Structure formats: structure tokens, C-alpha cells
């Protein structure tokens, strides 16, 4: 399967996430609140753009089954992931209006622009390639952190993050995305497979840059007026 091939490329990249101080802090509860607020706001506006990928994928679908899978992924993003962010925002005293008014950082802008560019130019298989690393790697991280002592304890202020991304509902959405990737790449020539693989590798690097951006509170190199 194509996702097996992908795993061989992204596994070392994704294992580096597990060693990232931001991710470690999520698991053991030591992450500074200001850094989590950075992730919360930046990831919220990221998800708005990310959701557009599923809408593009649904529009580009060649059959109802594929259209439905994209629609299900879109529903999960809008009404599960973004609800989690809104709950966290309330907990950390950030209003919904403040979330939506967040100015995307340089890394965030580059990442979402890269995905939307490839999604709009390509077919539904390109759309899945663009969205796969985010969903799959978050599930990968969530499942790893769920095994960290006390990560799921209410004493960890980020336990709901771990619970959500390691949970059955998000795992099912991730498996849907992987299955769709395998279906849409079946019988594709090597030139197309290599192109899709490169998209997933590049978005995996963007994921690491996103963790860095949150850890170091990065916005733009020159402050905006």
C-alpha cells in the first residue's frame, strides 16, 4: 500500500516530533501556558485553511464515496478538532473572536499556502497528500503521549489534547484518510506516486516547523505595524 511506502519516508521525521520540547511538554504537563496559547491560536486559523482542503477534495471527487469521505473529514475538522480548540480557548481565557482574529505566522502562512496550492492544482489524490501528514502525525503523537505516565491525568492541563488525538474518533478519521490515500493511488504511475510522496514529506517538515514556531513564539521576522 502507498501509505506503507510513505511511512518509510516519514517515520524518522515524525520521531523527531516526539523529542521536540513542545510535544514533550504536552505529555508531561510542563509546557508553558504562553506557548500552548500560541499553538491554540495559530492552529485554529490553520484549521480554517485546512478545512478548505476537504472542501476542495469533495469538489474534485469523481464518485460519491470519495466525496463522502472528504465530507466526513471536513465534519471532523470543523466539529471535533475546532470544538476542542474552542474549549481550550475558554479554559485559557481566549475568546472565539480572538481566535478568529489571529494573524497567521510566517510558518503558518507558508504551510497552508503550500497545501492549498497543490490541492487546487491537482486531483483528489493531491488533496489527500496535502492533508495526510497533519492528521496522521497528530494521531501518531497522541498515541505515543497517551503512554506517558500521567499524560491522561486531569492533573495534566493538556490531558484533553492527548485524549482527543489518541482517541478512537480521531484515529478513525486518520484511518479514513489513509484508506482514501491508498484508494486514490492504486494503479498510479511512479512519476505521480513520487510527486505525492514528496508533498507528504514536505508537509511533514512543515509540521516540525509548526512545533518550532509554537515553542519559540515565532510570528514574522520583522514585527508588523
Q: Is 207 an annotated catalytic residue?
A: yes
Q: Looking at 134, 197, 214, 215, which residue is catalytic?
A: 134
Give residues with Cβ within 8 angstroms of 123, minimum separation 6: 60, 184
**How far apart, in whole angstroms, are the C-alpha atoms of residue 42 and residue 66?**
29
Active-site position among 130, 207, 214, 215: 207
Q: Is 130 a catalytic residue?
A: no
Active site residues: 134, 207
Amino acid at each position: 500500500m502507498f501509505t506503507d511506502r510513505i511511512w518509510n519516508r516519514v517515520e524518522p521525521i515524525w520521531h523527531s516530533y516526539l523529542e521536540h520540547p513542545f510535544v514533550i511538554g504536552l505529555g508531561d504537563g510542563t509546557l508553558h501556558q504562553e506557548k500552548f496559547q500560541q499553538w491554540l491560536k495559530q492552529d485554529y486559523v490553520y484549521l480554517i485553511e485546512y478545512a478548505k482542503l476537504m472542501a476542495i477534495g469533495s469538489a474534485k471527487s469523481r464518485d460519491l464515496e470519495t466525496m463522502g469521505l472528504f465530507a466526513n473529514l471536513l465534519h471532523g475538522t470543523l466539529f471535533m478538532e475546532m470544538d476542542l480548540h474552542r474549549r481550550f480557548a475558554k479554559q485559557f481565557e481566549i475568546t472565539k473572536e480572538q481566535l478568529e482574529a489571529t494573524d497567521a505566522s510566517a510558518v503558518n502562512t507558508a504551510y497552508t499556502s503550500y497545501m492549498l496550492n497543490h490541492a487546487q492544482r491537482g486531483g483528489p489524490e493531491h488533496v489527500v497528500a496535502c492533508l495526510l501528514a497533519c492528521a496522521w502525525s497528530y494521531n501518531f503523537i497522541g498515541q505515543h503521549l497517551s503512554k506517558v505516565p500521567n499524560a491522561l491525568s486531569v492533573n495534566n492541563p493538556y490531558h484533553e489534547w492527548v485524549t482527543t488525538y489518541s482517541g478512537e474518533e480521531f484515529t478513525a478519521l486518520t484511518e479514513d484518510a489513509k484508506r482514501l490515500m491508498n484508494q486514490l493511488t492504486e494503479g498510479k504511475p511512479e512519476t505521480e506516486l513520487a510527486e505525492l510522496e514528496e508533498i507528504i514529506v514536505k508537509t511533514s517538515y512543515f509540521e516540525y516547523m509548526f512545533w518550532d514556531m509554537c515553542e519559540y513564539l515565532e510570528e514574522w521576522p520583522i514585527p508588523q505595524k
